[in-house]
A and B are shown apart, each in its own frame.
Chain A
Amino acid sequence: MRFFDPHIHMISRTTDDYEAMSRAGVRAVIEPAFWIGQPRTTLGAFVDYFSQILGWERFRASQFGIAHYCCIGLNSKEANNEPLAKDVLAVLERFVLKEGVVAVGEIGYDEISAAEERAYVAQLALAVKHDMVVMVHSPHRDKKRGIQRSLSVAKECGQPMTKLVIDHNNEETVQDVLDAGAWAAFTIYPHTKMGSERMVEIVRKYGPERIIVDSSADWGISDPLSVPKTAALMLQRGIDPAWVEKVTWQNALDAYAQSGQIDVPALLATPVIDQRALFSDNSVLRGQAPRVDEAPVPN
């Protein structure tokens, strides 16, 4: 099977992870801009971060036959540093128009503060201006109310619900998101958020329409193979394979291809890995022979 992990912070993962993901059938990922585990203090740090996820990280992924797309945005946590947030918002338009940027994201609420809301609204306006998809991060604390507010504010700003993905859902929030007409994404984490078993039951109960599974793997305890592992469990527990394919591949593709920034025929073509390419004064190769596949990546 092939998988699309539409939320993963590859910037914090190793090449071992890329190899394992490639072997497990992950063909495409989306790297949403987020914080880096601690707050940044300068605009330059944001500019370099956006450049890195659009550049070097995309190159690293390509060496393992994985298509890498991005979301660009100011995350909710750092929106609370308002003087810096203002500067970041001022440069965002320079990055959201780049090739392979499939959405404005991940944006939304963390503490559901006024500063977060100002940044959220400003970025919704940017998305509406350029007819873009929006990826919303939902808060850990007061999640249900945070999601309801994310939906209603997005609606007030004129963001079409078909171009809105609300992430990190759970059993308590999914109905609100589906009722609003938005896409409901679920993050499978080993210890927090969703587990694979719970995900199986959600798909059994709600069906596959507008439901998306992702790993949100980052520098914390998380699993870059969450999507293929959850798919395997769904199949094992008797979920229709067509449903599994929808929630681990097709729905993510349908949601984010609305950006016009995914070359769908190229993505559907079987990938061939060429590790000889180099990028920006560095190579992921450290003296070992480059892996150059003559044959397609095995599924």
Chain B
Amino acid sequence: MNTLPILCDWLSRRLAPEGARWFAAARAEVSGGVDSARFCALFSLASRYAPRGPLALTGEELARAAAALPGWNPERWTTLEALRVALVLSRTDLAGPGAVDAVEELFRYADIGELCAGYKAIPHLPAPERFLWRMGEGARSSMRAVYEAACCDSPYPAKYFDAIAWRQAVIKALFVEAPLWRVSGVDTRLDAELARMALDLADERRSAGRPVNPELWMCLGAHGGARAVASLEVELRSGPTLGRAGAVLGLARAGERSRLAALQTAEKDARVLSTLDAALRGGCDSRAFAALDPNMAKVS
């Protein structure tokens, strides 16, 4: 579904009069056809007309987004990003053969904010699989904001990445400390190879005397076998609170219900215990890991 009318609707309620006037003129210019230099200039100039602050969508608006493009969650978009994505979508040649080059031109000269807006635009374009290489660049970035723009709150990676790119994108979230629970597909697109990569990473962290990211346990599902259970038990014995809570969720996702029931009687840590209670009631999908995300804790 075309998401441009939705973005325009949101922007009309949020842009100041000067910004709204500029946006109307820029949209008209883009839809009339502009050369690459002018398109890039408008993409840059948008920063002068839209606040960098959050778009701050209502629950109703978020529901409309998810209905239009399943997996799209713009709750962390800025007004400037919405404006820039709307400018891209205002091109009338996006289904044509020149679209990939035109969009790539934006990326070639982009600053950080433009990169993020560019990656957020791609899932909204016709035949988004044409932009697979570019999205892979985003997933390889160690600039956390760029990684998240490409991989989080978006249907794209799970839907279009091949197995190698998908697993790399998932593990990369742990390296850049992006919220893996926001990567759509981490509850469903799991396999034995991803579980092995995650378990190797846990071993590497422990050998170096470093903590294991609690979200790492999301990567296992029921694919880790005995090695996974052993690694989860190590975390339960010796990890910090959040790591132990993550390990509880890992056990639940592996189907180790009887082990969880046994833990329930012995657990002393209230935080771990509440995670455990919820997990036994079925709460062990990626949303349960959101509670272990330090950034979410900081916000709440």
Contacts and interface: CB of A to CB of B under 8 A. Distances in A.
A278 B111 contact: no
Interface residues of B, number: 22
A178 B144 CA distance: 45
A281 B142 CA distance: 4
Nearest to A99: B47
Contacts, number: 50
B142 A282 contact: yes
A94 B37 contact: yes
B16 interface: no
Listed residue (B40, B140, B143) with the most chain A CB atoms within 10 angstroms of its CB? B143
Given A47-B109, A55-B111, A98-B111, A280 B48 contact: no
Interface in A245-296: 260, 276-283
A59 interface: yes
Interface string B72-100: 00000000000000000000000000000
A94 B40 CA distance: 7
A235 to B, nearest CB: 37
A79 interface: no
A184 B41 CA distance: 31
Interface string A9-49: 00000000000000000000000000000000000000100
A176 interface: no
B45 interface: yes
Interface in A159-218: none
A97 interface: yes
Contacts of B140: 281
Nearest to B114: A98
28 contacts: A47-B109, A51-B109, A51-B111, A54-B111, A55-B111, A91-B109, A93-B37, A93-B41, A94-B37, A94-B41, A97-B41, A97-B44, A98-B44, A98-B111, A98-B114, A99-B44, A99-B113, A100-B111, A260-B48, A277-B143, A278-B142, A278-B176, A278-B177, A279-B142, A281-B141, A281-B142, A282-B142, A283-B142
Given A91-B109, A277-B143, A280-B141, 13 more contacts: A55-B111, A58-B112, A93-B37, A94-B41, A97-B41, A97-B44, A260-B48, A277-B144, A278-B177, A279-B143, A280-B143, A280-B146, A281-B140
B231 to A, nearest CB: 23
B13 to A, nearest CB: 24
Contacts of A281: 140-142
A-B complex: 5 closest residue pairs judged by Cβ atoms: A97-B44, A279-B143, A278-B142, A94-B109, A98-B111
